Amino acid sequence: MNFGIDRLLADPDLMARLKGRRVALVAHPASTTRDLVHSLDALVAAGVNVTAAFGPQHGLRGDKQDNMVESPDYDDPVHRVPVFSLYGEVRRPTGQSMHTFDVVLVDLQDLGCRIYTFITTLLYMLEAAAAHGKEVWVLDRPNPAGRPIEGLTLRAGWESFVGAGPIPMRHGLTLGELGAWFVAHFKLDVAYHVVPLEGWQPDAAPGFGWPPDRIWINPSPNAANLNMARAYAGTVMLEGTTLSEGRGTTRPLELFGAPDLDARAVLAEMRHIAPHWLAGCALRTITFEPTFHKHVGQLCHGLHIHAEGDFYDHAAFQPWRLQALAFKAIRRLHPDYPLWRDFPYEYEHGKLAIDVINGGPGLREWVDDAAATPGDLDHLTEPDEAAWAEARAPFLLY
């Protein structure tokens, strides 16, 4: 199959539409062609007049490893074009940067999760393009998590850099589809175009979203493989807790643990509370020692989520509920466990990080309510999931 960048470069009519125009590119390390040439290099080699580039969180070339580390503006040393950081002094494109191009190509591999900041970067670029009369093209890429929908919808007043709008945690759209939803939902007067995927089958085995003939390249430093992409809509919540999400290990955001955790007891309690939420994957007890980030240099005990191989059932796997269940099990075993981490997550002050991540306090309140059952969380969440399935339907391209 072909991604948007491949189709653009191979289509004379599309390339002709860029001729004589100043072109900018929003990209990251996974923005490559089928031949593994970075999109910036490929566009320049094809004769496109690239006059600027933009780097999202972690940078155009992936220069920042850890989370919430800003990148500066700089000049590309090869192509001598300005590279504007959209995760540095600003999150939104400035008026100065918007005057450097006529059309911007957005070529970002997403993970299909609301909190992954590349979708907010797309929204901010669309809003800036509408304000400055610029054209936006999304060079579409697959959603590696596929079409499933899961999680609470972001509540009004909880918008942030990890909460671009009223979207559930796992939205099931490609970036091109989501951009069209942004344009419609926020009523943006912007020239918007999607260069679609060719041959994408989001419900087909074995990839169920990720085509097995395409190499995985980390879109961000800790997005190391397809298993991480599948688990991320749940494991990202660990960033709002005192538990390690595996940063500082070779399998970040696929596992969790802490030095004082009894992993076997937690797993047993999860199976007792809601065994049906464990479907579609395997959980393996694990010990690990982070080399940086939370619990650095300490032996942690936890669980590794394997949404892969013969254990994976695409229709049954519910990573958001699975991770919520782990929190619930820890809270039942240790009612006073200091689970929630209090710090300005993505520069949001006065709100618990777990609430910023979930777009409201609903998940945390369910975990902390000793009387709350799995059915109570389903009762809260299922209407949101059904409403999103209806809202997104007009924007499905595949």
Predicted confidence (pLDDT) per residue in 12-34, tens digit: 999 999 999 999 999 999 999 99
The tally of domains found in the chain comes to: 2
Mean pLDDT of 317-335: 98
pLDDT of the residue at 71: 77
Does 284 score more than 70 pLDDT?
Answer: yes
pLDDT of the residue at 65: 58
CATH code of 196's domain: 3.40.50.12170
Does 115 score more than 80 pLDDT?
Answer: yes
- Tell me if residue 9 falls in helix, strand or coil: helix
Can the peptide bond before residue 29 be classed as cis, meaning omega within 30 degrees of 0? no
Of 215, 320, 159, 190, the closest CA to residue 1 belongs to 215
Structure tokens at 191: 């020239």
Query: Which carries the bigger pLDDT value, residue 357 or residue 66?
Result: 357
pLDDT range class, residue 59, cuts 50, 70, 90:
confident
Q: Same structural domain for residues 348 and 371? A: yes
Give one DSSP letter per residue of 313-364, joined into a string. -TTT--HHHHHHHHHHHHHHH-TT---B--S-GGG--SS-HHHHHHTSSHHH
Mean pLDDT of 148-155: 98
pLDDT range class, residue 103, cuts 50, 70, 90:
very high
Does 67 score more than 70 pLDDT?
Answer: no
- Sign, CA torsion 243/170/153/321: negative
pLDDT of the residue at 66: 59
Q: Length of the chain in residues, anyone?
A: 398
- Give the C-alpha separation, 224 to 227, whole Å: 8
Note the pTM of the prediction, 2 decimals: 0.95
Does 88 score more than 90 pLDDT?
Answer: no
Q: Same structural domain for residues 92 and 20? A: yes
Single-letter residue type at 5: I
User: For 324-328, 339-343, 347-351, which range has the lowest pLDDT when averaged over its residues?
Assistant: 347-351
Q: Same structural domain for residues 259 and 350? A: yes
Does 140 score more than 60 pLDDT?
Answer: yes
| Cβ-based neighbour number of residue 334 at 10 Å | 15
pLDDT range class, residue 273, cuts 50, 70, 90:
very high
DSSP state of 160: B
- Give the C-alpha separation, 157 to 186, whole Å: 15
CA atoms in the 13 A half-sphere facing the CB of 55: 26
Q: Same structural domain for residues 165 and 197? A: yes
pLDDT of the residue at 117: 95
Q: Same structural domain for residues 237 and 276? A: yes
Structure tokens at 4: 């948007």
Q: Same structural domain for residues 62 and 144? A: yes
Q: Same structural domain for residues 250 and 363? A: yes
Q: Same structural domain for residues 361 and 247? A: yes
- Tell me if residue 191 falls in helix, strand or coil: strand
- Give the C-alpha separation, 50 to 223, whole Å: 28
CA-based angle 141:4:111, to the nearest 5?
Answer: 10
- Give the C-alpha separation, 28 to 26, whole Å: 7
Mean pLDDT of 197-223: 95
For the chain, the average pLDDT equals: 96
Residue 139 domain-assigned? yes
Last residue of a domain, one of 192, 220, 248: 220
Q: Where would I find the H helices in the chain? A: 4-10, 12-18, 39-45, 95-98, 118-132, 175-185, 226-235, 263-273, 319-333, 353-358, 362-368, 374-392
pLDDT of the residue at 64: 59
- Give the C-alpha separation, 332 to 369, whole Å: 10
Q: Same structural domain for residues 215 and 248? A: no
Last residue of a domain, one of 220, 254, 277: 220
Last residue of a domain, one of 200, 220, 240: 220
Mean pLDDT of 64-78: 75
Residue 396 domain-assigned? no
Crossing angle between the packed helical segments 374-392 and 175-185, to the nearest 10 degrees: 80
Domain that holds residue 366: 226-388
pLDDT of the residue at 63: 65
